[in-house]
Chain A
Amino acid sequence: MKGALVLTALLAALSMLSILWGEVRVPPGDLWRGLITGEGPGALTVRVLRGPRLATALGAGAALGLSGAIFQTLLRNPLAAPDVMGFNAGAGLAVIATLAAGLTLPMPLVAAAGGVAAALLVAVLGHRKGQADTALTLILVGLGVGFTATGLATFLSLTISDALAIEARRWITGSLAARSWLHAGQVWGMGLVLCLLLAVQARALGLLELGRDLATGLGLNAARARAGLLATGVLLAAAGVAVAGPVPFVALMAGPLGRGLTGARSPALRLAAAAGAGAAIMAAADLVARSALPGIQFPVGVMTGILGAPYLLWLLSRAFGKGEA
């Protein structure tokens, strides 16, 4: 399929660039030698610095992209993302609370834990006994949890020193600094497990897309399937956040971008495209974040937004240029 080839080529190109390009010029020959033999000036760069960082970026991006695509399909809203469920807000609150308490824990893990806690809270509060969970209910509850979490986080952020505030902000923005093969392994491992789970649930996703009543008519326990898919989505987001922090907009953009690039139709292919697109976004954002301005290293989350906005506008002009108002 032509679209898949485009996406694969894009990923390959971004991966190559990510290895070749960085803060410091390292000759490709040295990089190659470092990769193969583990010796020479390129070894540290490839094996310790850029390699694991790229692998983690690709994994986290894929996980976040998948998560966003699941949410967007289930909630029937192109603006839906784990963010809507208060996930990122919970992640941010957890990070600031930990820093304000003076604890030194790995921040991405703290963020993931906070996000999952927020999502659980949304799931619990959004579930009313004896009534079906509507998308609107979940969105409202998600907004509510998000509001409260953001309010508390803002409050705490005013109580810490300015140096600590920089650290807090960095982790809340999402950072791929000093990623190791352990992190890459962690996100790929969790991601693959969740993908297997998703493969089992893919059929249910397709059915749910047709509409709740039709799906139930076709023998699907809609409520349970939906809850299962949302849980998978949240866990995928958590897997991505656990190694990269709550990077914004990847979950939001990956689905539409993947679909736009590959023209995929079926749910399974669309999810795959979203994973690929998410990986590409993350890799591109990381590349720009660490090499755009000499001497300045932005956390990756800064660039996902800057790269994402023009893309959203392009989507806008295309969709409405065709008259799909």
Chain B
Amino acid sequence: MTTRQKTAIAPPAFALNRRAVLGGLLGAAVAPAGARAQTAEVWPQRFAHAFGETVLDRPAARVVSLGYTSHDALLALGVVPLALRYWYGDAPFGVWPWAADLLAGAEPVVLTGESGIETVAALQPDLIIGIGSGISQAEYDVLSQVAPVLMHEADSPIYGMGWDALTRILGRATGKADLAETLIAQTTQAFADARARHPDWQGKTGTAAYHFSGEIGAYAAFDGRSRFLTELGFRLTPAIEAYQGEAFYIPMSPEDLSGLEADVLLWLSGTDTDDDLAALPMRRLLASHAQGREVFAGTLTAAAVSYGSILSLPFALQRLESEIALAADGDAATVVPSSAKAGLAP
């Protein structure tokens, strides 16, 4: 099994005893070849997580990404994973368009279904990313015999680790902590810039809504999709802010969609056309609809928002900024292209 790596780093001159790494024995020598000159990173690095603690004694170069979205952060850091996990969609190698350029011709192994431990072992990685992968403690134990495994933080939900925290950890693990900080700042800045370009968005309300298979509602305030809007300066509606539940979404009855009313109503859809949404009876009675304040995010754009990675969020922002501007301009006459295309326009 061969894979071409973009970043080739010389393999260690001495045999790496993986059990020693796991056991945290400080006797293992710190490899000078791995240390980046930018800052004095202290190796070995320790990572505390939900399944215990992982210790790396050198920056990782051969990385397998088992998380459904963790490969985005790796690619952003310039590390092409040897293998990555397939989630859904038809993108080649499971890498979505916002990250495809960074792949630059490499062909990582795509793992579908359960994490193929034999395949992972055969690739001889020196780091396995289990954050956002849903692997069990048993799988973690077996994988740890192959290479150090990073898992989500103990108080974070399995799939709920923030894109910035994830990038930071991966930066630390691959010896690119500074690059990670730079990238995080860049993405944060992109949102800040968008906010600055549209000062009128401050104080307006926005709703991130879903419609799937007859279920309709809005995303809760702490969900990344609602935060996408609040990062742009929008407020959430009182109905959403009042929600005290633990679920990441707030369901609404198809008979009363008034909870969705906002200055910008962003529909996140899994398909490019949603005839059922267009035909929703109570949506047509919403003021948000009558005044052309709806934005429709189709497969790719909605996926970018939902993915919520360091690469996908700026991508989504790029595609949605002008749409949101047209929806939020307070002028019912301006047509929002995405809505019109999806048949949602008044």
Give B119-131 as 1s and 0s: 1 = Cβ < 8 Å from A's Cβ atoms. Answer: 1011000000000
Check: B136 CB closer than 8 A to any chain A CB. Answer: yes
Given contacts A44-B145, A45-B121, A163-B159, are A296 and B134 in contact (CB under 8 A)? no
- The answer to whether B114 touches A177, judged by C-beta atoms less than 8 angstroms apart, is yes
Interface centre among A107, A163, A183 (most CB of B within 10 A): A163
Q: Chain A: residues with CB nearer than 8 A to chain B? A: 22-24, 44-45, 48-50, 102, 104, 106-107, 158-159, 161, 163-164, 166-167, 170, 175, 177-180, 183, 290, 295-299
Question: In the complex, A147 Cα to B114 Cα: how many Å?
Answer: 29
- The answer to whether B110 touches A178, judged by C-beta atoms less than 8 angstroms apart, is no
- The answer to whether B118 touches A161, judged by C-beta atoms less than 8 angstroms apart, is no
Who on chain A is nearest to B248 by CB?
A: A161
Check: B64 CB closer than 8 A to any chain A CB. Answer: no
Question: In the complex, A104 Cα to B159 Cα: how many Å?
Answer: 12
Question: In the complex, A106 Cα to B119 Cα: how many Å?
Answer: 23
- The answer to whether A24 touches B1, judged by C-beta atoms less than 8 angstroms apart, is yes
- The answer to whether A49 touches B118, judged by C-beta atoms less than 8 angstroms apart, is yes
Who on chain B is nearest to A41 by CB?
A: B122
Question: In the complex, A23 Cα to B117 Cα: how many Å?
Answer: 9
B: contact size bracket: 35 or more
- The answer to whether A24 touches B134, judged by C-beta atoms less than 8 angstroms apart, is no
Query: Which chain B positions have C-beta within 8 A of A48?
Result: 142, 145
- The answer to whether A106 touches B137, judged by C-beta atoms less than 8 angstroms apart, is yes
Check: B139 CB closer than 8 A to any chain A CB. Answer: yes
Who on chain A is nearest to B157 by CB?
A: A102
Q: Chain B: residues with CB nearer than 8 A to chain A? A: 1, 50, 68, 87, 109-119, 121-122, 132, 134-139, 141-143, 145-146, 157-159, 215, 247-248
Question: In the complex, A177 Cα to B139 Cα: how many Å?
Answer: 7
Which one of B111, B113, B118, B138 contacts A24 once the chains associate, using CB atoms below 8 Å? B118
Query: Which chain A positions have C-beta within 8 A of B135?
Result: 178
Given contacts A49-B118, A177-B117, are A295 and B143 in contact (CB under 8 A)? no
- The answer to whether A296 touches B247, judged by C-beta atoms less than 8 angstroms apart, is no
Given contacts A106-B137, A297-B112, are A49 and B50 in contact (CB under 8 A)? no
Given contacts A49-B142, A178-B143, are A164 and B113 in contact (CB under 8 A)? no
Beyond A49-B142, A159-B247, A183-B138, 12 extra complex contacts between A and B, CB < 8 Å? A44-B145, A45-B121, A102-B158, A104-B50, A106-B136, A175-B114, A178-B117, A295-B109, A295-B112, A297-B112, A297-B114, A298-B114
Query: Which chain B positions have C-beta within 8 A of A104?
Result: 50, 136-137, 158
Question: In the complex, A163 Cα to B88 Cα: how many Å?
Answer: 10
Query: Which chain A positions have C-beta within 8 A of B117?
Result: 49, 177-178
